[in-house]
Amino acid sequence: AQSVTQLGSHVSVSEGALVLLRCNYSSSVPPYLFWYVQYPNQGLQLLLKYTSAATLVKGINGFEAEFKKSETSFHLTKPSAHMSDAAEYFCAVSDHAGGTSYGKLTFGQGTILTVHP
Amino acid sequence: NAGVTQTPKFQVLKTGQSMTLQCAQDMNHEYMSWYRQDPGMGLRLIHYSVGAGITDQGEVPNGYNVSRSTTEDFPLRLLSAAPSQTSVYFCASSRGTVNTEAFFGQGTRLTVV
């Protein structure tokens, strides 16, 4: 079974500082990987996804993630944090479809990002 | 441009009561799913559907039923609510290929007392 582990349930940064949210995956086949963001009292929305076309993936709001097969990692970064980035971030891996199964998403535990002025 | 709509947004149930959480999408997506979100545990899959008339269990299906009579709707039924089912529930839909974006509803916050 595929799984993801997010290191650090809470990350706190100052406004303007680098954001680094860590995600490691476990998969026996090349994975489909995603980062989702959840703002307070809202549903999840897609930040970016790994499509195997490029190891460095750019997403919305200045976020990007780098796929490193040797480290089984897909860490999320942003060079300069904004107050509006405060949210919970989820890394997710998708199964490969087969038969009536489809790409079910398995989520990590989530990382709450706090941005201080 | 509704996307995925969940109702109600909030609900309080007494132990043993039953209820249905509604989910509707207007994007003609084949695939729909229900997750529950609990602190420190991320989102866990309850049930999912790959099309009208086809459903299957996810990671935590006990105590929940689903059906999919139309492409648009995917209701989640709690048969006999228990305090352990206190959670935030999210419905999601996607086009159905493995590497496509899932669209989420705003969630239903359920408290069972």
Which residues in chain B have Cβ-Cβ distances shorter than 8 Å to A51? 99
Q: Would the CB atoms of B101 and A46 count as touching at under 8 Å?
A: yes
pLDDT for A10 equals 96
pLDDT for B2 equals 78
Number of other residues whose CB lies within 10 A of the CB of residue A80? 12
pLDDT for A94 equals 84
Predicted confidence (pLDDT) at residue A30 exceeds the cutoff of 80: no
Q: What is the pLDDT along chain B (113 residues), one digit of tens a residue?
A: 679 999 999 999 999 999 999 999 999 999 999 999 998 888 999 999 989 999 999 999 999 999 999 999 999 999 999 999 999 999 999 987 667 889 999 999 999 99
The SS3 of residue A68 is strand
pLDDT for A51 equals 78
Contact B2, B105 (CB under 8 A): no
Contact B22, B32 (CB under 8 A): no
Q: What's the whole-number mean pLDDT along residues A19-43? A: 89
Nearest Cβ partner for A107 among B42, B48, B94: B42
**Chain B touched by A16 (CB under 8 Å):** no
pLDDT for B82 equals 97
Q: What phi, psi does B101 have (nearest 5°)? A: -70, 135
Interatomic CA distance for residues A20 and A3, integer angstroms: 20
pLDDT for B1 equals 67
Predicted confidence (pLDDT) at residue A98 exceeds the cutoff of 60: no
Predicted confidence (pLDDT) at residue A101 exceeds the cutoff of 70: no
pLDDT band at A99 (very low <50, low <70, confident <90, very high): low
- Tell me the per-residue pLDDT of A14-25, one tens digit each, with 9 for 90 and over: 999 999 999 999
Nearest Cβ partner for B98 among A42, A46, A97: A97
Q: Would the CB atoms of B45 and A105 count as touching at under 8 Å?
A: yes
> Which chain A residues in 22-61 lie under 8 Å from chain B, judged by CB atoms?
32, 41-46, 49, 51
Interatomic CA distance for residues B106 and B93, integer angstroms: 12
Interatomic CA distance for residues B22 and B2, integer angstroms: 14
Q: Is B56 exposed, middle or buried (0-12, 13-18, 19+ CB in 10 A)?
A: middle
Predicted confidence (pLDDT) at residue A43 exceeds the cutoff of 70: yes
Predicted confidence (pLDDT) at residue A4 exceeds the cutoff of 70: yes
The SS3 of residue A60 is helix
Interatomic CA distance for residues B84 and B44, integer angstroms: 14
